[in-house]
Amino acid sequence: MKNRIQNKTALITGATSGFGLATAHALAAMQVNLILLGRREERLQALSEELSQQYPKLTIQTLALDVRKYDGVKSELEKIMQQTPVDILINNAGLASGLGSIVDGDLEDWEKMIDTNLKGLLYVSRTVLPKMKERNQGHIINIGSMAGNTTYPNGNVYCATKSAVHTLGQAMNIDLTGTGIRVCTLAPGAANTEFSEVRFHGDRDKADSVYQGFQPLLAEDVADMIVYILNAPAHVNIQKVDMMPTAQRSPYHLHQE
């Protein structure tokens, strides 16, 4: 595969686990410089050291901040972008928190999902996009979900936030008509990451039960797809990708042994 992204710089939110972590490794292997953003500073530092040892010619920067806090996002990212143009933005930071009815859902869970999955994506994009427009180039991948296509029982607010992510991806493409900036929404299905453990507030046994009886997607599978999308020629804009394990054909059709 021809490497069209070598020597570019990618900003990855939620870089310390799951899709973000796997994408950091996959892009580093493609010789892409990285700006790694996440809340857990120790994990960021460990990842930076690992990648720097493995790929000593790359520039690896880390930024410990919470995408839910606009002032911090704006000030810290603008500092970095004064010295380092961002060619690629992976809006990966997101989570599911809780699984309950719209009647009795936990308000704290709701706020956390809305603030991270939706407002966090907006805050980062609003900060990065003006610089991309100045240079008339850039590539954004927003991590959506099959839950943004089809709502499932007790997934109400999480599904709503991911549906909004899909809508924002469409809106970004429309608003950026006439520019060289491309936008893709990538919507994975069942994937075995920390997702379910976070949703169930650290209950590992309950989280593991979600993936029993079939082979789910791995974070590395999603990272491979991200590399494929980014590596498309400049005249090709892959706007939406739905990606599921072979055992799953919709949120309601999952073959488990």
Active site residue ranges: 158
Return the structure tokens found at 187. Answer: 């919507």
Q: How many CB atoms lie within 10 A of CB 175?
A: 14
Question: In whole angstroms, what is the distance from residue 184 CA to residue 53 CA?
Answer: 31
Q: Which residues pair with 55 in a beta bridge?
A: none
Q: Which of 29, 34, 128 is nearest to 77 (CA)?
A: 128
Q: What angle do CA 25, 26, 27 make, to 5 degrees?
A: 95
DSSP-assigned letter for residue 11: E
Q: Is 157 exposed, middle or buried (0-12, 13-18, 19+ CB in 10 A)?
A: buried
| Helix axis angle, 18-29 to 219-230, nearest 10° | 50
